[in-house]
Amino acid sequence: MAFRDHLAQADVISDPVSVELGIRRLSIQRGDIPLIFDEIIEATGQRAAVNVLTRSALCQKWDCTPSELGAAMIEAQHHPVEPTHVDFTDARFNYLVSHDVDLTTIPVPWHFEEDRGRYMSASIIIAQYAGRRNLSFHRMYVRNPNTTVARIVPRHLCEMVEEARANGDEVPIAVVNAPDPTVLLAAAMSFENHIDELEIAAHLHQRLVGSELNVCIAPNGITVPSDAEYVWLGSITLDDDLEGPYVDITGTLDTERMQPVIRFDTQYQRESPIFHALISSGAEHRTLMGLPRAPIIQNAVNRVCPCHDVSLTAGGSGWLSVVIQITPNRPSDGHDAVMAAFAAHTSVKQVIAVDQDIDPEDPVAVEWALMTRWQPAKDTIILENQRGSSLDPSCNSDGTTSKIGKDATIPLGVDRSPFERVT
């Protein structure tokens, strides 16, 4: 299965549209539904897709519930499998080979006037150095036809780059746009230890799609998914340049930073390719950034008590606020489950615990649970001087923040009938 296999429900826009502010404007006009843009003014013969990969759409395509999707992602962490290698000539993206890369001819969008310019936001970097491989999301500002400036957050790829630079080395990479969504979910997951995200994706593909994930080795030695729409080969250089400002997932403006420059040497693409032009701060962004954190949180909470579902809320931009659906077995389980969620996702600012009869995806139901089952004086956890998120503009100047946890579960050992909604 490929990215384009998830586009059946998308409306096709045949009128010409510019990558400079036009894609997002039309998306807003159409109600942020799945869209394919057939006529990109700056990219003849290429298309772009937005608003495709939401949690509900993925569950529908893979015929699973959100809980089953979360369980699959948890299982993949514990049981990674090797993907299936195919010959590079059999890859679906080998229609065009260019050693004169010009990113300005690709439908890379400029969504907000406040952004520095055109950004790849849904593309992933696959890096291999010193015997390790890493797949991860990093927004990339198109600096000129063959270079980008990537916001490399301080995780495993950052460590890899720092190690390489200390040795005077560039890091060989592939940048992949629009692979199978299982690859995107795996790339968005984060782990304390170095885990090969391609092996996570391979497990997810077997479990959710029912077939093996095919990969191939590109000419620069990087292993890439064979069904991607675009693949660029290049290196993370020894140079830095300004990146940002950029409207991030919270809808607020992230700042300028000096970040690594990526140089591209070769481009591959499918025939009549479809660029994944993710709109930052939209539902798709919240899904791809927040959804992979859900199983990590669920796994941590499960060590305290049964956790049935986790929702990173839209109001929290899919990142800063979490609702956990649990079955407490001890009086302290609500409190301990909230603390486990905080520990599992350190960027989160609010955690709300609800019972199994409350849909964590329904903000009205969650608020109802708070108003009928939560007592602020005894069911609230306030944490001070905690590590915050750079995406939260209210954080203190040193990056710390206060956090709040709310236990909105029915107390154990009481008559539950007064707390239950009559239907």
Active site residues: 248
In contact, 289 and 319? CB cutoff 8 Å: yes
The residue among 245, 277, 309 that closes a domain is 277
CATH number at residue 363: 3.40.1670.10
Same domain (yes/no): 314, 259: no
- Residue 299 and residue 377: Cα distance in Å, rounded? 29
In contact, 310 and 84? CB cutoff 8 Å: no
Long-range contacts of 157-160 (CB under 8 A, 24+ apart): 157/125, 157/127, 160/127, 160/129, 160/130, 160/132, 160/134
Same domain (yes/no): 263, 300: no
- Say which residue the tokens 């927004």 belong to: 139
| Domain span at 392 | 292-410
Please count the structural domains in the chain: 2
Is residue 419, in this structure, part of any structural domain at all? no
In contact, 119 and 108? CB cutoff 8 Å: yes
Is residue 417, in this structure, part of any structural domain at all? no
Same domain (yes/no): 81, 148: yes
The residue among 216, 245, 277 that closes a domain is 277
Is residue 115, in this structure, part of any structural domain at all? yes
Q: pLDDT tens per residue, the chain (423 residues)?
A: 799 999 999 999 999 999 999 999 999 999 999 999 999 999 998 999 999 999 889 999 999 988 889 889 989 988 999 999 999 999 998 877 778 999 999 999 999 999 999 999 999 999 999 999 999 999 999 999 999 999 998 889 999 999 999 999 999 999 999 999 999 999 988 776 678 999 999 999 999 999 999 999 999 999 999 999 999 999 999 999 999 999 998 899 998 999 999 999 999 999 899 999 999 988 899 888 888 889 889 989 999 999 999 999 989 999 999 999 999 999 999 999 999 999 999 999 999 999 999 999 999 999 999 999 999 999 999 999 999 988 889 999 999 999 999 999 999 999 999 999 988
Token duo for residue 23: 């894609």
Handedness of CA 361, 364, 366, 367 (dihedral sign): positive
Same domain (yes/no): 143, 252: yes
Residues 6+ apart with CB under 8 A from 89: none
Q: Please write the tens of the pLDDT for every residue from 157-197.
A: 999 999 999 999 999 999 999 999 999 999 988 776 678 99
- Residue 231 and residue 159: Cα distance in Å, rounded? 23
Is residue 422, in this structure, part of any structural domain at all? no
Same domain (yes/no): 200, 102: yes
Same domain (yes/no): 273, 365: no
Same domain (yes/no): 233, 298: no
Is residue 212, in this structure, part of any structural domain at all? yes
Residue 351 forms beta bridges with which residues? 322, 405
Q: Please write the tens of the pLDDT for every residue from 34-49.
A: 999 999 999 998 999 9
Burial 157-181 (b: 16+ CB within 10 A, else e): beebbeebbeeeebbbbbbbbbbbb
CATH number at residue 128: 2.30.110.10
